[in-house]
């Protein structure tokens, strides 16, 4: 009886691991197809684009970083923090305009520690490829998603032992704008 139970357990675990391997393989295939789409769009726009990375925290704060790329090189990065308003906006009034905390240009790009790192989307695809090849620890979960246009949106790993504001290791792209 014990042997039969052990064999059943092994069969279930082998099946589960096989399904996980198939999922990772499928995700790598989707990423490769997405990269082809990205390379075509990038070429059509001469490597000119920007992307936004937004992080929402348990406290309600939102950090937004906009990275601008021209001819395949990062040329600008700006960072904004949006907090929870202390008072609701009265009817028929516009909320206050949110201004960047800082904007970096040219050689200044990367000087500030806060915000998303100044990377090209090509670099983010390379990072995503590595993340999809990485084995997971028992306490980790991998997330992978493409946006409606089939471009990379998310590829990251989180520690499931952390409930709020779990640090993510990987790629998170809120939106991409081609110029």
Task: Classify burial at 135, counting beta carbons within 10 Å of its beta carbon; exposed 0-12, middle 13-18, buried 19 or more.
Answer: exposed
pLDDT at residue 20, rounded to an integer: 42
End-to-end CA distance of the chain: 66
59 phi and psi angles, rounded to 5 deg: -70, -15
The reported pTM is 0.79
**How far, in whole angstroms, is CA 104 from its chain's centroid?**
21
Alpha-carbon separation of residue 117 from 113, 132, 179 (angstroms): 8, 20, 21
pLDDT at residue 16, rounded to an integer: 35
pLDDT at residue 7, rounded to an integer: 39
Residues of the chain with pLDDT under 50: 1-21
């Amino acid at each position: 009886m014990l042997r039969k139970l052990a064999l059943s357990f092994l069969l279930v675990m082998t099946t589960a691991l096989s399904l996980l391997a198939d999922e990772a393989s499928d995700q790598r295939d989707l990423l490769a197809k997405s990269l082809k789409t990205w390379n075509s769009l990038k070429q059509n726009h001469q490597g000119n684009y920007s992307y936004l990375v937004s992080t929402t925290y348990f406290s309600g704060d939102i950090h937004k970083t906009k990275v601008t790329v021209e001819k395949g090189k990062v040329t600008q990065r700006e960072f904004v923090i949006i907090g929870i308003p202390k008072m609701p906006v009265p009817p028929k009034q516009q909320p206050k305009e949110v201004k960047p905390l800082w904007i970096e240009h040219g050689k200044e790009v990367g000087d500030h520690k806060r915000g998303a790192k100044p990377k090209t989307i090509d670099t983010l695809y390379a990072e995503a490829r590595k993340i999809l090849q990485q084995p997971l620890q028992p306490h980790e979960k991998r997330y992978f998603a493409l946006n409606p246009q089939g471009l990379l949106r998310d590829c990251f790993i989180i520690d499931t032992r952390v409930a709020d504001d779990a640090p993510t290791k990987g790629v998170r792209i809120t939106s991409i704008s081609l110029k």
